[in-house]
Amino acid sequence: MNKKLLFIFLFLFAATEILPQTNGNIFLSLKKINEGKGDVPRTINISSNWKFHEGDNAEWRLPSYNDSAWQNKNTEIYLDSLSSKQNTGICWFRLNIKTDSSLFGKDLALLIKQHGASEIYLDGKLINEIGRVGRNVQGEEVKNPAEVPFAVNFDSATTHLLAIRYSYMHVRNLYEKFGQIASTAGLQISAGILNLAVENYNKMVRINTTLNISLFGIVCALAILHLLLFFFYKSRVDNLYYSIFSFSLSINFLLGILNIYISNQTALIIIRAFLWIIIVLIFLFFIAFIYSVYYKKLPAFFKGFIVYGIFIFLMPVNLNFINHTLLNDLTLGFAILALLEGFRVIIKSLIKKIEGSWIIGIGAIAFILAILFDFIIQLFNLSSSIPEDVITLVLYSGLVSLPVFMSIYLARDFANTNKNLTQKLKEVQELSEKTIQQEKREAELKLESEREKAKLRETELQAKALEAENERKAKELEEARKIQLSMLPKNLPLLPQLDIAVYMQTATEVGGDYYDFHLNSDGTLTAVLGDATGHGVKAGVMVTAVKSMFVSNFTHNEIPLMFSHFSNSIRQLNLEYMYMCLAVLKINGYQMRFASAGIPPLLLYKKIEDKLEYITLKGMPLGTKKGFPYKEIEMKLSPGDTVLLMSDGYPELFNENDEMFGYENILEFVKRNISGSPEDIIERLKESIDKWRNGTPVRDDVTFVVIKMK
């Protein structure tokens, strides 16, 4: 019953099978492990019928030791099944494994999920440690690997001893504090083919994490949306019930994520206790929502659900006295009653042909069928015969169907309400049409008398209108500026081998300069600096287009191909006389590749040589000439080297005498200020801009990207 409850609300499942075992012996072969359907990776549960002994003795790891007097026990021990004399907090498990020649020299996988710390021995030799086994709580280091596979190799012998030294001091202390809810103290052990086990483990962690996070986000968003609808229109209490139901369900998905990654035993106990409350809330407000949709008020029978739910709430208050099995049964019973009652109400409404009942009916039926599907798989052990992708798709689709269809029903009901209001409004408009015609004549007469007055105010109104128009345009430009700035990276990439600083000053509200970064999974940093033709709104449009192209094509390894693709795309936009100058850097480690399409030369300072040089690559701006042969250069960087990219607004900066700053001044200035950090260099560059223009307005956008190697 406990396993079924976890499968409903934590949505965890595994493809495992128990091998025939007797008296601490097991037969293992490659053929047995490979049994399955298609390419489904198999793991075989070997947790049953081990030899078990409390205490600690180094000789117990040896194959020669006689363990015939030991108990036969499952490694998944529960503290409430052990006597206080046995419960020393440290024990040994031994299992004799018989193999055939198919396993000789093969890499198999052992998967262990534990609540304490263990040392694993094969034929008396230590092959793995998970945590640190201790003789007391201070000496024990608990580690829960969540069934991460590790390799084991059998030699040509046909009989092997697998011995596990295991301590559970921390779990024993938690048991004394929390009682039966913390009674799980042992290990779950499975075996399988190494490469398939690793692949299956990574796949299941990825799938479960992705699905739980996605469903948490979707269902939580629905909960917030309908909670807001309730706040704005409190008469629709069904939105409130749906919101609490969906929020509780999203918390359940969140607990599923935490259950995968949290290994702290105390935290897992708290999650386990909290889960019962969440389950009750899910089904309590599920039935409340169903009642609110089909009844004018909640029926008296709903009070029984409330009393039942409060009773389950109160059980975990004192964890020392909790009856774990009873609480599981009560919670499962509550869920089944709520589902059956909801199903009864929906069927009744379908028979009465209540409008929209079929929508919730589809979601509820899919939800119930998904749970029944999971029950059948667990009851008849079908997980090894059905691909896990199919199980996952059916289960999660069914679980999320109920909140989705409930939301669809509420949205449809909201739309119908608006449609009815629109129809009523139309009727009111038709009825008042005659009155409007009468008032129209009176208004025309009054308008005639007002025209003379209006002429006197016309000049004033025109001035105000012009002012309002200017204000509107200013607001639109400000909004455009905010949109453009939002396309720039909010955070600069953090890499251990380099520091980055950037600066941008636009000549108008909307600039034409652009910079961006992307960090690939292989550690390659892609940095771009662009300068659209001119500035203002048209230049902002070009920046928006190039930003979209960069997001879609930053994975291009060859920069010239990226340029060609960008140039062709810009030409197809038909932006008359609008082009884009662009420079791209790709840095991986200390190797840098660079290409330019009309951007000023790159400044490179080589620290070892104490040399500052221009790196010039001629290239037409993107969007001009079709098929232009852009070039790319590659160079080796060293610690202390500094790269400076800039737009042409800096060398073309004018002072009050209408003189340009020029590249010679740039070279001299950078030589004197290149030794600092990228942030310091940016500050010096900004000071040079202010000093040179001496109050003269900036005519073009100025942008810098400074990268310094550590």
Residue 353 has pLDDT above 60, yes or no: yes
Token reading at 59:
């000789």
pLDDT by residue (tens digit) across 552-580?
776 677 899 999 999 998 888 887 778 89
Taking residue 631's Cβ as centre, other Cβ atoms within 10 Å add up to 13
- Report d(CA 432, CA 42) in Å as an integer: 76
Residue scoring higher pLDDT (345 or 602): 602
Mean pLDDT of the region 686-692: 91
Mean pLDDT of the region 207-216: 78
- Report d(CA 319, CA 176) in Å as an integer: 10
Residue scoring higher pLDDT (60 or 113): 60
Residue scoring higher pLDDT (261 or 622): 622
User: Exposed, middle or buried, 342 (CB in 10 Å: 0-12/13-18/19+)?
Assistant: buried
Residue scoring higher pLDDT (70 or 378): 70
DSSP 599: P
Token reading at 435:
């009155």
The Cα-based distances of 333 to 8, 283, 303, 328, 340 in angstroms read 13, 11, 16, 8, 10
Task: Write down the pLDDT at residue 84.
Answer: 62
Comparing 56-70, 76-90, 309-323, 399-413, which segment has the lowest mean pLDDT? 309-323
The Cα-based distances of 57 to 64, 107, 565 in angstroms read 14, 29, 70
The predicted model scores a pTM of 0.46
DSSP 595: E
Mean pLDDT of the region 225-237: 85
Task: Write down the pLDDT at residue 383.
Answer: 60
Domains of the chain: 2-200 (2.60.120.260), 204-419 (1.20.1070), 432-486 (no CATH), 493-709 (3.60.40.10)
Task: Write down the pLDDT at residue 707.
Answer: 96
Task: Write down the pLDDT at residue 509.
Answer: 65
pLDDT by residue (tens digit) across 620-636?
999 988 889 999 999 99
Task: Write down the pLDDT at residue 17.
Answer: 36
How many residues comprise the chain? Answer: 710
Token reading at 324:
């774990």
Task: Write down the pLDDT at residue 18.
Answer: 36
Task: Write down the pLDDT at residue 560.
Answer: 92
Residue 364 has pLDDT above 70, yes or no: yes
Task: Write down the pLDDT at residue 480.
Answer: 57
Residue % of the chain over a pLDDT of 70: 80
pLDDT by residue (tens digit) across 293-316?
878 788 888 888 888 888 877 766
- Report d(CA 530, CA 621) in Å as an integer: 10
- Report d(CA 207, CA 146) in Å as an integer: 15
- Report d(CA 314, CA 330) in Å as an integer: 12
Task: Write down the pLDDT at residue 1.
Answer: 33
DSSP 601: P
The Cα-based distances of 547 to 327, 516, 554, 585 in angstroms read 56, 8, 10, 16
The b-or-e profile of 113-144 (16+ CB within 10 A means b, else e) is: bbbbbbbbbbbeeeebebbebbeeeeebebeb
Which range of 10-24, 237-251, 410-424 scores highest in mean pLDDT? It is: 237-251
Backbone angles phi, psi at 591, to 5 degrees: -105, 130
